Amino acid sequence: MIEETLYRYARQDVPMPPLPAAEVLAEARRRRRRRMQLIGAAATATAVLAVVAAAGVVRTFAGPSVTAAGPGCAVERLTLPPGVSGGVVATGIDPSGRYVIGKAGERGAVKALLWTDGAGAVLPESFVPQAVNGAGMIVGFTGPDRNGGEAEQRPVAWDGARLIQLPLPDGALGGVAHAVNAGGDVLGTLVRSDQTYVAVYWRTAGGAAIASALPGRSGLGLTDTGVAVGFEPSSGRPMRWTSNGSALPLTQPDGTESSAPRSAVGDWASGPASKPPTGSKGDDFAMLAARWNLRTGAVELIPGISGEWVSGSGAVAGITSGGAPAVWRDGQTYTLPMPAGVDAPGSIVAGITADGHSLAGSVEGTAAIGATGAPGDHSNPVASDRTAPVVWHGC
């Protein structure tokens, strides 16, 4: 699953997974190769990570039941702001669906985009937007839009009028703000000079300040009540904690070797998971999601979808094993419609609203939507010129 996901990222020229996740996946691939050599298999795939599971109820859903979303589910291309052409990637949506964020331009000089009620604009500061809350506050990072450039990246927040530099704890070089909740609290992950990671929880009311810093953790998702989720990069253990630093491991789903909560809303968290290798490419590259109930501690395993995003209603969104953007709810996976002339493979889902019925993402068509540079130049755009941002409603 993981290598196929990475392959899709590379093929689509869209954002890689969050920095610490990419580091864990790289180590996972190295370990997987060693194990697969021992059993004589040629393929390499998902992670081999030692995870200590917390006590909790584990439920595994049956094999994927996939159907097209109903006629009420519609896709809409977002209108590009004036002055923007070429590849554009949606990177998030707020819980209400009013705001959608995205990026365009060059990886070394990203244009941050914001759509408000469908009207797009280029923000005056250059940064990479990662998440947006219901008040239109955006978090992300400045610096190069690439993994491996963390020492040059700095976590930031856009408050609607200015770009705020979020403070770094002692020993941190740089990193990314990944999540923002309704109160303006921010969660992110930084890298330190010894190349280890620290999850940082910032409060922004009255001025940006560090509320807690947890070494050895990656912070990815944050609820409105202040519950943070992520994992330990050294072990791959899924984790949850609060702003005061109290941390507990989340339950590792039975039969899996790794799982990483990517988002959290209300009582729910979700993220991709992987099973031990079988030597079958079909099995090893199949998408698999974990969904945690943060109130009860129970975890569910959902086959057939990557599960990067979760709604307040518990719906899970991501990409199916066949490469289609989809949403899962109540045991059923619904594939999302594509714009005319666009196939599902190459699409991504960038977020889901609190009610679970609207989503943002990007699709990749067969024809360019605009020029990204003169032929033969050496530009490095954030996405191919076939990539366009979309929203799905009523799904």
What pairing do the DSSP bridges indicate for beta strands 359-364 and 247-249? unpaired
Cα–Cα nearest to 318, from 27, 374, 329, 366: 329
What tokens were used for 380? 């490095």
Residue with structure tokens 């912070």? 219
Is the torsion defined by CA of 382, 385, 386, 387 positive or negative? positive
Per-residue pLDDT of the chain (395 residues; tens, 9 = 90+): 333 333 333 333 333 344 444 444 333 333 333 322 222 222 222 222 222 223 345 555 555 688 999 999 999 999 999 989 879 999 999 999 999 999 999 999 999 999 999 999 999 999 999 999 999 999 999 999 988 778 899 999 999 999 999 999 999 999 999 999 999 999 999 999 999 999 999 999 888 999 999 999 999 999 999 999 999 988 888 999 998 888 999 999 988 888 999 999 999 999 999 888 877 666 667 889 999 999 999 999 999 999 999 999 999 999 998 899 999 999 999 999 999 888 888 899 999 999 999 999 999 877 666 544 444 334 688 888 889 999 999 99
In DSSP notation, 83-102 reads T--S--EEEEE-TTSSEEEE
Cβ burial of 193 (10 Å; 0-12, 13-18, 19+) is exposed
Cβ burial of 102 (10 Å; 0-12, 13-18, 19+) is buried
Distance CA 329, CA 322 (A): 18
Cα–Cα nearest to 264, from 278, 250, 277: 250
Distance CA 252, CA 292 (A): 9
Cα–Cα nearest to 45, from 272, 260, 279: 279
**Residue 35 belongs to what H/E stretch?**
helix 19-39
What tokens were used for 319? 């990409």
What pairing do the DSSP bridges indicate for beta strands 238-241 and 228-231? antiparallel
Cβ burial of 316 (10 Å; 0-12, 13-18, 19+) is buried
**Residue 24 belongs to what H/E stretch?**
helix 19-39
Say what the pTM is: 0.84
Residue 328: CA count within 13 A, CB half-sphere: 33
Residue 260: CA count within 13 A, CB half-sphere: 30
